[in-house]
Structure 1
Amino acid sequence: MTIISTEPQLMPFFSDAFLEKTARKCGFMERLRNIGPQSLVLSLIAALSKGNCTSIADLHRQFNGMCLSEKHTVAYKPFHNQLRKSAFADFMKTRVTFAMVQLIENVLPPLPKKFEQFDDILLQDGSSFNVHPDLAGFFPVASAH
């Protein structure tokens, strides 16, 4: 899968209206201030994709570096306060989940019809499976492992 082929799936992820709606729904944003959800998400992706982000100060520098003018930059404390909100974690979790669903839907083959009746399928590899000693006579192969 190339980056170009993922563009249609990820465009809603970066939509200003969609991010703002999600931020309000999660309780992350009540009023639109200098740190908007779109600019915050884009700056976080940019900072973390560089591979050398080691602190909140690095995230803050990236955010201010992406501001179009000096009047849109924010001080460290308000930026930090946004990141420490518990609703910020919920907001980012919904965004990451959305992005993963968008990418996975086109990669995974559809499930066979016989699995449609199930909501969730859990797999067991048998490595931690143990047959009760009283049932070992009924299931000799399972107890031999």
Structure 2
Amino acid sequence: MELTHFNEQGRARMVDISDKEVTSREATAHTTVSMDSSTLTRIKEGKIGKGDVLAVAQVAGIMAAKKTSEWIPMCHPLPLTGINIVFSDNGLDELYIEGTVKTKGKTGVEMEALTAVSATALTVYDMCKALQKDMVIGPTQLLAKSGGKNGDYQRPTTP
């Protein structure tokens, strides 16, 4: 596949999407925050001094998805039509974060989904770092995307 983020001088550019068709596009990304079981228990029980970790982190992920083009230099600003962040865990020491982003546009929302789960995880870390500084974030990965000329993608194995 040809890389399109370079101009005729080999310098970075934002890809011209002027002639692309508007289609429905969706992407889902996932990340994990590994922590002590006592930290996860306190998050789930709402016993973190800074407040409701999952509620704050969820809002942070949504806000980050909307601002992705301000974080990632070559991303196009997109009119997002839906953002959903959901949490689950392994009941022991891992918090799972999944984010799905939707738009009707000329380019995909993979970066918005990845940014959403990353910001969500970073917010969990920020709110819990007084309890535990050695939490680990990742892996962060695209699970699926649909829409656009390159077609659909589904990660072969799920986390």
Q: Looking at both structures, which has the greater relative contact order when contacts are Cα pairs under 8 Å and sequence separation is at least 6?
A: 2
Q: Which structure carries more helix by proportion?
A: 1
The structure where strand makes up a greater share of residues is 2
Normalised to the residue count of structure 1, the TM-score between the two structures is 0.32
Q: Which has the larger radius of gyration?
A: 1
